[in-house]
Amino acid sequence: MGTFAYFPHTEEDIRVMLERIGAPSLDALYSDVPEEFIRKEEYDLPSAMTEDQVRAWFESMAARNTRLKVFAGAGAYDHYTPSVIPYITSRSEFLTAYTPYQCEISQGTLRYIFEWQTMICALTGLDVANASMYDGPTAAAEAMRMCVASTRKRNTVVASSGLLPNVLEVLRTYAHYSGINLVETWDVAEAVAEGTLDLAGVIVPSINRYGLIESHLGLSDLVHGMGGLLVEYCDPSALAVVKTPAEWGADIAVGDGQTLGIPLCYGGPYVGFMACRTDLMRKLPGRIVGQTHDAQGRRAFVLTLQAREQHIRREKATSNICSNESLMALWCTVYLSLMGPEGMRRLNALCYEGSHYLKEELLATGLFSDPFPDREFLKEFVLTPRCDVPKLQQALLDAGIFGALATEEGYVSFCVTERRTREEIDNLVKVIMEAGL
């Protein structure tokens, strides 16, 4: 004892403490546990490693992964991370705090969440945002539940088949166990217009799984006319340039903040966001930070509207969500502060330029055709392959490139972010041309 860095107890400390308690040994503190449940065998775990050994262990694991040039999206995008962000988020005052229950010593967390809420409102155009959610797909599932909770006695939610595959999968899971009737269709307007559904809500993507920017003209009137709510699933980075959920007349916006400078990190942690109109505020799940003042009249921030939450309402709560992804919300807040409106416009213009260039170059190879020639896209697009797809993917992999993701419908998808240089794009095209496809 006293030989492990995270345990400060010396033999003498333990003796003093046991004496105060009146227990003869550490094991005596488990006298209330039936003897048969106390584990006597050694745990089958590796022997304790030193820091250097831990580092070496992970280095050996990392060496067995391949870092690829990412030309793929499908819900995770390779945007650049300004160096300021990890520097700020690794400050231990942020990193090692918990949910800001004691607001007097948590004004740092509370203020950045308030800033995050403000920025999510700015991006989506909606009135109110929560403190964040686990990820985009779970935020969509919470929005689905919110539709049902907000429209009395209605239980059907129509989801566009154009949503990302992983969003639809999570929606199916939550709908199945919550007893919500989830209808998936490519033609949302038609399904709603039939008017035969007990419609609680409709979920559509702002940019669909093929990367196409969707038009939702007239959709909100249609959905509202049938008594439902309109939810838009969006890429918050793209909202700097594409029409906002508010401009389309949506009631709720959700999506994943990963595109706001969060590294790919094999899929997480990312951060979900959720915003809505003021009149739905009290149905919003998750934590919410509000502004008030302290006893001396100074501006102060607190967790508010907590009567919706599980620690008060238990089984009647709007959601079971208790934690959020606070540190990742800070990540995105710092990102948006650094980028500003001009940075976000420029970043999107770079994505647009690079992806359109790649698409033209790929079409010029004659190995692909364009299934959606009249539709606009921003950074991700699909093509119809006229070649052997596994061979195409392998040729790219051999060249250290991850792209040409196969979609369920037989397309291949590519994605170009601002990080992909003209040389990298040209190289990708060259690899394909030389692959003998």
Partner 1 sequence: MSRIIEGLLYSKSHEWVKVEDGLAVIGVSDFAQSEMGDITYVDLPSEGDEIQAGEEFGALESVKASSDLYSPVSGTVEAVNEELESAPELVNQDAYAAWIIKVRMSDASELESLLDAAAYAKIAE
Partner 2 sequence: MRYYDKLIFELSRPGRSAFSLPRPEKDIPACGNIWRESALDLPEVSEPDVVRHYTNLSQMNFGVDTGFYPLGSCTMKYNPKINEEIVSMFGGLHPLQPASTTQGVRDIYSFMDKALAEITGMKHFTFLPCAGAHGELTGLMLIREYHMSRGDSARTKIIVPDSAHGTNPASAAVCGLDVVVVKSRPDGLVDIEALKPLLGPDIAGIMLTNPNTLGLFEKDIKQIAELVHGCGGLLYYDGANMNPLMGVVRPGDMGFDVMHLNLHKTFSTPHGGGGPGSGPVGVCERLVPFLEKPRVSGFHGNFGVILRACAYILSLGRENVKLAGRLSTLAANYIKESLKDCFKLPIESVCKHEFVFDGLLEPNGVTTLDVAKRLLDYGFHAPTIYFPLLFHEALMIEPTETESLQTLDAFIEVMHKIAAEAAGDPELLKSAPHDTPISRPDETTAARQPILKYSKV
Site for partner 2 in 117-146 (CB under 8 A): 117-119, 121-123, 125, 127-129, 131-132, 134-138, 145
SS3 string, 182-194, reads: EEEECCHHHHHHC
The one segment of 152-160, 226-234, 347-355, 424-432 that binds partner 2 by CB under 8 A: 347-355
72 binds partner 2 (CB under 8 A): yes
Site for partner 1 in 314-353 (CB under 8 A): 316
Tell me the closest approach of the beta carbon of residue 302 to partner 1, in angstroms.
Answer: 9
| Calpha distance 368→361 (Å, rounded) | 10
308 binds, among partner 1, partner 2, none (CB under 5 to 8 A by kind): partner 1
Helix H or strand E encompassing 205 = strand 199-205
Strand order in 405-406's β-sheet? 368-369, 380-385, 412-415, 405-406
| Calpha distance 364→369 (Å, rounded) | 9
Q: Is 121 left (phi over 0), alpha (psi -120 to 50) or beta?
A: alpha
Largest CA distance in the chain: 83
| Residue number, 194 or 374, with CB nearest to partner 2 | 374
| Residue number, 227 or 281, with CB nearest to partner 2 | 281
Alpha-carbon Rg for the chain in angstroms: 26
Per DSSP, the three-state class of 98 is coil
* Window 141-170: contact mask with partner 1 (x via CB under 8 A): -----------x------------------
Per DSSP, the three-state class of 406 is strand
Tell me the closest approach of the beta carbon of residue 193 to partner 1, in angstroms.
Answer: 25
296 binds partner 2 (CB under 8 A): yes
Nearest to 328 by CA among 144, 109, 170: 109
| Calpha distance 143→46 (Å, rounded) | 43
* Window 231-270: contact mask with partner 2 (x via CB under 8 A): --------xxxxxx-xx--------x------xxxxxxxx
The one segment of 191-199, 226-234, 321-329, 364-372 that binds partner 2 by CB under 8 A: 321-329
Tell me the closest approach of the beta carbon of residue 320 to partner 1, in angstroms.
Answer: 16
| Residue number, 25 or 196, with CB nearest to partner 2 | 25
Site for partner 1 in 258-287 (CB under 8 A): 282
290 binds partner 1 (CB under 8 A): no
Q: Quick one: CA torsion of 396, 398, 401, 402, rounded to 10 degrees?
A: 70
Q: Spell out the alpha helix ranges (H) of 320-415.
A: 326-364, 389-398
Q: Quick check: 413 and 371 in contact, CB under 8 A? A: no
Site for partner 1 in 173-202 (CB under 8 A): none
Site for partner 2 in 370-389 (CB under 8 A): 376, 378
Q: Quick check: 327 and 94 in contact, CB under 8 A? A: yes
Tell me the closest approach of the beta carbon of residue 108 to partner 1, in angstroms.
Answer: 22
| Residue number, 84 or 364, with CB nearest to partner 2 | 84
Residues in the interface with partner 1 (CB under 8 A) total: 8
Q: Binder to partner 2 among 152, 177, 373, 436 (CB under 8 A)?
A: 177
- Distance, first Cα to last Cα, the chain: 64
| Residue number, 185 or 310, with CB nearest to partner 1 | 310
| Residue number, 283 or 356, with CB nearest to partner 1 | 283
193 binds, among partner 1, partner 2, none (CB under 5 to 8 A by kind): none
306 binds partner 1 (CB under 8 A): yes
| Residue number, 292 or 394, with CB nearest to partner 1 | 292
153 binds partner 2 (CB under 8 A): no
364 binds partner 2 (CB under 8 A): no
288 binds partner 2 (CB under 8 A): yes
Which amino acid appears at position 394 of this protein?
Answer: Q
358 binds partner 2 (CB under 8 A): no
Contacts of 373 (CB under 8 A, 6+ apart): none
CA distances from 177 to 170, 172, 180, 181, 311 (A): 11, 9, 8, 10, 22
Checking DSSP bridges between strand 412-415 and strand 380-385, what pairing results, if any? antiparallel
Nearest to 114 by CA among 276, 300, 278: 300
Binding region for partner 1 (CB under 8 A): 152, 282, 306-308, 312-313, 316
